[in-house]
Amino acid sequence: FSELYPGITTVLLTLNINVHCPFSRELCLLYGLVSADRDSLQWILTKQGVGNAAVVVVGGAQEALDAHKGKSVLTLRNRKGFVRCALQCGADLVPVFSFGENDIYYQAKNPPGSRLRWFQEKMKALTGFSPVIFHGRGIFQYNFGYVPFRERIVTVVGKPIGVPKIESPTAEDVSFWREKYITALTELFDEHKEKCGAKDASLTVL
């Protein structure tokens, strides 16, 4: 990353609840994470000067509910805030995808309409956090535990999408650049999926 993007400092954004709860808040401060809200995003892209990249998991808590082994489901169609902020700051949008990320844990099946999914959606609406039921492997055995499975994760970074600086972007502006981002991300996925061990995989964007 440092070779392709010299002089760029990355700042990872996380769920607001993580920076408001004791212990997890201290971990966030230790590793330099900040809350994923508009003020934090604009501060990183403007007040801290140039050379900063805000790393946002756009799908957030909703996307976590669809993180199942062997599947790639992204929540993007109804996400507009990150595009609006990029336009207001004149910051490039950079598509990034991590292959194998959903394979390090097994999540309990929770199809839309199931009781588990209903409960998870209710809790997410109340707390902003998705209570997923998952398991990995143990320290001395491979069947059950909370240690991640030994799976390779490959993160690919696409070309920056240059966006114009628009102080008051319209809904049409936001939709236009969001679709360009989704198209670029889909192309990035298709270009690298075979070499990353996901030859027959497909990307679903919700």
Has residue 48 got a pLDDT over 80? no
Mean pLDDT, residues 26-33: 92
Has residue 50 got a pLDDT over 90? no
Distance between CA 121 and CA 128 in Å, rounded?
A: 9
For 92-112, how does the pLDDT look when each residue is reduced to its tens digit (9 = 90+)? Answer: 999 999 999 999 999 999 999
| 60: its two tokens | 């957030």
- For 61, the domain range is 57-205
In a domain, 123, yes or no: yes
Residues in CB range of 152: below 8 A, 6 or more apart? 100, 197
Residues in CB range of 47: below 8 A, 6 or more apart? none
pLDDT of residue 176: 98
Residues in CB range of 78: below 8 A, 6 or more apart? none
Looking at the structure of the chain, the number of domains it has is 1
User: Would you place residue 115 in the very low, low, confident or very high pLDDT band (cuts 50, 70, 90)?
Assistant: very high
Hey, what amino acid is at 193?
K
To the nearest whole percent, how much of the chain has pLDDT over 70?
Answer: 99
Q: How far is CA 108 from the centre of its chain?
A: 20
Distance between CA 65 and CA 132 in Å, rounded?
A: 7
User: Would you place residue 127 in the very low, low, confident or very high pLDDT band (cuts 50, 70, 90)?
Assistant: confident
Whether pTM > 0.85 for this model: the answer is yes
pLDDT of residue 86: 96
Mean pLDDT, residues 122-151: 93
pLDDT of residue 128: 86
Has residue 49 got a pLDDT over 80? no
3-state secondary structure of 45: helix
Distance between CA 31 and CA 161 in Å, rounded?
A: 28
Distance between CA 48 and CA 58 in Å, rounded?
A: 22
Distance between CA 74 and CA 94 in Å, rounded?
A: 16
User: Would you place residue 4 in the very low, low, confident or very high pLDDT band (cuts 50, 70, 90)?
Assistant: confident
